[in-house]
Amino acid sequence: MASGQFFSVILAAFFMGAAWGQGVDSGARTGEFVGKVVIAGSGTQVETAIDIIANALEKGGVPVKVVPGETSRRAENEKLPTNGAVSLLYVNSDIAPRQRPALIVECWDPQGASLWKEQTSLTVSGGAQASAKRMVERIVKNIEKSRIGGPGLPKK
């Protein structure tokens, strides 16, 4: 009788674990990321830059998934092979007082190889948000002109 109870406990634990695993899945192959370009980043006013880039890509026919908050490129890139995303577009802004503001957007494939990189800077800063907007508008022009439909930014 004890072995029957033991088997029941093991079987119940198995089914509970399977159910919990389904609830914990963070987008892995569920459609949330599959076939999309993941956009993430770090730095001052990075949300402003990401929003503008995501909007431009969606208008250009590129499916995107924005990762909220600041995150590391390596952490997001390591998720690509399991979540089904086609690439990672990582945005890094460096806007600090008394420094030349810079914005870098780099596209990475699921294996961690850099596909391309766009970067720009300003000679003078007009405030963090204004600087971010001006720089990202420059980068978006380049992305719209020569990157959409190419490596890392496939259209739907």
The enclosing domain of 61 has a CATH number of: 3.40.50.10070
Q: Which of 3, 7, 73, 75 is nearest to 41 (CA)?
A: 73
Q: Is the same domain home to 48 and 84?
A: yes
Least confident range of 19-23, 62-66, 94-98: 19-23
Q: Is the same domain home to 81 and 140?
A: yes
Structural domain boundaries, residue 101: 31-146
Residues in the chain, overall count: 156
Q: Is the same domain home to 90 and 18?
A: no
In this prediction, residue 122 carries a pLDDT of 85
Q: Is the same domain home to 58 and 78?
A: yes
Assess if residue 138 is contained within a domain: yes
Assess if residue 154 is contained within a domain: no
Mean pLDDT for the stretch of residues 109-116:
95
Assess if residue 129 is contained within a domain: yes
Q: Which two tokens stand for residue 16?
A: 């509970």
pTM value > 0.85:
no
Assess if residue 90 is contained within a domain: yes
Q: Is the same domain home to 55 and 90?
A: yes
| CA 89, 99, 45, 60 torsion-angle sign | negative
Assess if residue 16 is contained within a domain: yes
- Does residue 153 contact residue 53 with C-beta atoms inside 8 Å? no
The rounded percent of the chain whose pLDDT value lies above 70 is: 76
At 128-138, the pLDDT tens digits run: 778 788 899 99
The crossing angle, in degrees rounded to 10, of helices 46-59 and 128-146 is 30
Facing residues of 94 across strands? 102
Q: Is the same domain home to 22 and 35?
A: no
Average pLDDT, the chain: 81
Assess if residue 153 is contained within a domain: no
Q: Is the same domain home to 9 and 46?
A: no
What is the Cβ-side half-sphere exposure of residue 17, based on CA atoms within 13 angstroms?
6
Q: Is the same domain home to 101 and 130?
A: yes
Our CA dihedral for 44, 112, 36, 48, rounded to 10 degrees, sits at 10
d(CA 97, CA 127): 8
Q: Which amino acid is at 48?
A: T
In this prediction, residue 19 carries a pLDDT of 37
